[in-house]
Structure 1
Amino acid sequence: MTDEQPDLAAAYDLASPDQSRRLYAQWAASYDDSFATKESYHLPFQTAQAFVAAGGHGPVLDAGAGTGLCGQALSDLGISPLEATDISPEMLAQAAQKDIYRDLIEADLLQGIPVPPGSYRGVVSSGTFTHGHIGPEALPALLRVGAHGAQYALSINAKFYHKSGFASAFTRLIDGGWISDFTLLEVPIYGEAARDEHRGDKAFIALFKKA
């Protein structure tokens, strides 16, 4: 990692959990202003809206919470209690400043989340399932922590969805009776003010319930 300001290109180029920790340690303090606000990053709000529209309620785990943008949107929509997990302690420290989470859990989703099974009635994730980050291999860890009937709202970069095998992963979960009420929404990731080369990118929001 260099001393240059982290950006989306660097995030999409990550290749390991350790690289993720280093990049987000550098980016945490400026992330909301230098990226989310500057690039009109709407995906966290859209993920929160989709969760609420699907009937989701707390307690909710915000997985890959980052600085808490999706959690803030959920809180503004009246959802509580909220807990956050992320691989980066520095990002979680920024999330803590929003004063919306009752607990902050540092964890690598690929290694599991250190809470009892069935702890949450809802699980959301915005911006974690994308290039350079995590693929469908993390879905079992998220299913483990949801109670039966828990509502899920997971945003997945649309190009990454097709590239990383999410369609077949969800088909296996549906056919195996692990999830139900599966719906896939397509939404723009950024607003009109975005100027990054990825400004036209789309995401899917996967909505489903744990069976």
Structure 2
Amino acid sequence: MTQEKEDERLDLEAAYSVRTPAENAALYASWAKTYDESFAAASDYVFPQQVAQVFHEQGGHGPVLDAGAGTGLVAEAIAARKTCLIDAFDISSAMLSVARSKGVYRKLVQGDLTGKLPFANGSYGSVVSAGTFTHGHVGPEALGELMRVAASGALFVLTIKAELYETRGFGAKFGGLGAQIYDFQTQEVPIYGAGAQISHALDAGVIACFRKV
């Protein structure tokens, strides 16, 4: 199969159809080398820039955990605005290999966000994520561990596919955190920019921003 044909197969529909961590890792192992061009650039994917902008506006600081870091698009966008220590965590070693080449991370760790994270309590001053809480990927069950590894006062900036916010229980999960978080706010934003030429071009996302008590 030519690279062009392979890239046609590795699209959003394929990403949204994965159901297990193993399927997720297999998909991105195949997609990693061309992800930035065949998906992010081609679809005018603006989620990473939006996360970085909110992070900057809210005074986010390091060390930062980039949860579901992929090829490092969020860290690149943050690094373009300010200098801080950022660690990558992702299920795909192939995606992390691409991210490593960009030189924006302190360290890169492979693992599953739905399990126990290999970080000590209170390790991070901020937690960011773009494109991870979506179809076929990670649900609200991961928030408990992300809260554990965040320090008191840590800033969270997380994107969630808008149509899943209530149906997958994200709204209920945030509500259940209650007194564990403060300054909670959400905003609905486009996932793709004006240049998107894909079937999901009009899809919306939610950016959830809050701090840990």
Select 1:44's aligned residue among 36, 43, 48. 48
| CA distance, structure 2, for counterparts of residue 170 and residue 115 of structure 1 | 22
Tell me if the contact between 2:88 and 2:105 (Cα under 8 Å) persists in the aligned partners: yes
Tell me if the contact between 1:57 and 1:80 (Cα under 8 Å) persists in the aligned partners: yes
TM-score (structure 2 length as normaliser):
0.95
Tell me if the contact between 2:7 and 2:38 (Cα under 8 Å) persists in the aligned partners: no
| CA distance, structure 1, for counterparts of residue 78 and residue 7 of structure 2 | 34
* Structure 2 residue aligned with 1:186: 188
Deviations 1:5-56 (A, max 9, x none): 3111000011000000100000000000000000000001101111111111
1:92 paired to 2:96 = yes
The residue identity in structure 1 corresponding to 2:162 is A
* Structure 2 residue aligned with 1:145: 149
| CA distance, structure 1, for counterparts of residue 59 and residue 154 of structure 2 | 10
Tell me if the contact between 2:65 and 2:87 (Cα under 8 Å) persists in the aligned partners: yes
Counterparts in 2 of 1:40-79, with a 5 A limit?
Answer: 40-79=44-83
| CA distance, structure 2, for counterparts of residue 130 and residue 162 of structure 1 | 12
| CA distance, structure 2, for counterparts of residue 26 and residue 53 of structure 1 | 35
- Secondary structure of 1:109's aligned partner: coil
Distance verdict in 2 for CA 1:79–1:208, change over 3 Å: farther
| CA distance, structure 2, for counterparts of residue 160 and residue 18 of structure 1 | 22
* Structure 2 residue aligned with 1:155: 159
* Structure 2 residue aligned with 1:14: 18
Moved more, 2-11 or 100-109: 2-11
| CA distance, structure 2, for counterparts of residue 112 and residue 198 of structure 1 | 32
Unaligned runs of 5+ in 2: 1-5
* Structure 2 residue aligned with 1:117: 121
Select 1:104's aligned residue among 88, 105, 108. 108
Deviations 1:71-128 (A, max 9, x none): 1001111141111000000000000011010100101011122011100100000000
The residue identity in structure 1 corresponding to 2:188 is E
The residue identity in structure 2 corresponding to 1:209 is R
1:129 paired to 2:133 = yes
- Secondary structure of 1:93's aligned partner: helix
Superposed CA RMSD in Å reads 1.2
1:30 paired to 2:25 = no
Tell me if the contact between 1:188 and 1:202 (Cα under 8 Å) persists in the aligned partners: yes
Count of residue correspondences: 208
Shift of 1:185: 1.2
Shift of 1:3: 9.3
The residue identity in structure 2 corresponding to 1:145 is V
The residue identity in structure 1 corresponding to 2:167 is K
Unaligned runs of 5+ in 1: none
| CA distance, structure 1, for counterparts of residue 88 and residue 33 of structure 2 | 17
